[in-house]
Amino acid sequence: MKPRITVAGSVNMDLVFRTPRMPALGETLHGHEFRQIPGGKGANQAVAAARQGADVSFIGAVGDDGFGDVSRQTLAAEGIDLRYLTRVAGVATGVAGILVEDGGDNSIVLAAGANASVSVAQIEAARDTICNAGMLLCQLEIPLASVTHAIQIAHDTGVKVILNPAPAQDLDPALLAQVDYLILNETEATQLSQIEVTDQTSARYAAEKLLALGTGAVLLTMGGHGALIAQTGECQFIPAIKVNVVDTTAAGDTFVGAFAVGIANGLSIADASREAQYTAALTVTRLGAQTSIPQRQEVLDFMAARQAA
């Protein structure tokens, strides 16, 4: 049977510009290409989980505009349950302006739009969807009060919780203590732990501090440098999968979604992380957010080819 995963999170339309480099303040720079691609951390993670074989339900909001229509159609095409994806009248769908330089790194500016309207009441209305899932997946592109309520529902009913605390913000230790898997990057780990993460040693110190707050496990993703997995009394580093990078957009979201499916399927945290690394590695070889997220068979073929090499 497919694992059941509920995602409470954001939906954005990504407006993606390819550039030779990041522009300086006040500079007008000629770009190579422009594309309009469905995105949003919540939606990206939902798509990643669905493509890796999960039965996914989504809690979120879009506006009553063309971007909202396209976003809903895109998620529906993945077979995602959208009963709790609301359409908010008179509000724009969330938008992300993304600059992707030739080396693959990106800079992103968000306008929350309808994402800001995801309320505690909407989360409460979806209580059964959370309680009946095997896993709840949250990020921080919708109001923190709504994320907190979703996590509380899951925690109280024994549903495993994954939190991707992005964009970075300060969080109550009581919330972190209800999280089974905290998946974050160097910037987010630095803000939450108050330890500057620059290498494996500082990553370990930051992870240990976060574990001391009660989080079940910490996965600290470090891009091309790999990922650190920390649990109480145990810490290991998983190297990155080397590929030619085209665009790093949605790599972290793909890792989160794929990891969730691995854990829900009964894999160990290390094995789920390795599969998530392969899935994210394929993502960065392509442009865009949801357009870059691979299907399950692609990941299996990629893993087999790399392991046979």
Catalytic residues: 253
43 in a labelled binding site: yes
Residue closest to 177 by CA, chosen among 217, 207, 215: 215
41 in a labelled binding site: yes
158 in a labelled binding site: no
252 in a labelled binding site: yes
Which sign does the torsion angle of CA 45, 47, 48, 50 carry? positive
d(C-alpha 220, C-alpha 276), whole Å: 13
Which sign does the torsion angle of CA 111, 179, 227, 187 carry? positive
- Beta partners for 230? 218, 235
48 in a labelled binding site: no
212 with 173: CB under 8 angstroms? no
Q: What angle in degrees, to the nearest 10, is found between the helix axes of 41-51 and 251-264? A: 50
40 in a labelled binding site: yes
155 in a labelled binding site: no
141 in a labelled binding site: yes
- Buried-exposed string 42-66: b where 16+ CB fall within 10 A, e elsewhere: bbbbbbbbbbbbbbbbbbbbbbebe
283 in a labelled binding site: yes
292 in a labelled binding site: yes
Mark the binding-site residues for K(+), compressed into ranges.
247, 249, 283, 286, 288, 292
Mark the binding-site residues for substrate, compressed into ranges.
12-14, 40-44, 141, 253
Mark the binding-site residues, compressed into ranges.
12-14, 40-44, 141, 185, 221-226, 247, 249, 252-253, 283, 286, 288, 292
Mark the binding-site residues for ATP, compressed into ranges.
185, 221-226, 252-253
